Amino acid sequence: MPGPILHVGATVLCSHAGQAIPTVPSPRVLVSGMPITTIAAPYTVAGCAFVPPAGNGPCVTGQWVVGAVRVTSEAQPVVIMTGTAICAPTGTPLLPVVAQTRVIAT
């Protein structure tokens, strides 16, 4: 499904409202003047509010598993708002909230 490409300035949260930031952006492609991200780069999560009594939280990292099908950067699919990501160690998704809207990928 098509969706806006995520860039370094996009707002991405874990399911528990922690802020997720890409660790390795792809500087070869810029949207809105900022580097985009690919599914190869993990995201770090800070401020996850999930604190289970005896479990697997809070969210520490997130990894995109589904991105664009037809658009790549450095031989990796780009991350899009309609993609799928999983946080570790909780297994919950990353949620893109705000991104640029000028460049759409499928």
Q: Where are the domains of the chain?
A: 3-101
Mean pLDDT of the chain: 95
- Number of neighbouring beta carbons within 10 Å of residue 100: 18
Pairing verdict, β 43-46 and 19-22: antiparallel
Q: Is the dihedral of CA 49, 93, 34, 28 positive or negative?
A: positive
pLDDT band at 15 (very low <50, low <70, confident <90, very high): very high
The model's pLDDT over 67-94, given as tens digits with 9 standing for 90+, comes to: 999 999 999 999 999 999 999 999 999 9
As a whole number of angstroms, the distance between CA 98 and CA 39 comes to: 18
As a whole number of angstroms, the distance between CA 94 and CA 91 comes to: 10
Cα dihedral angle (77, 78, 83, 87), rounded to 10 degrees? Answer: 90
Predicted TM-score of the model (pTM):
0.92
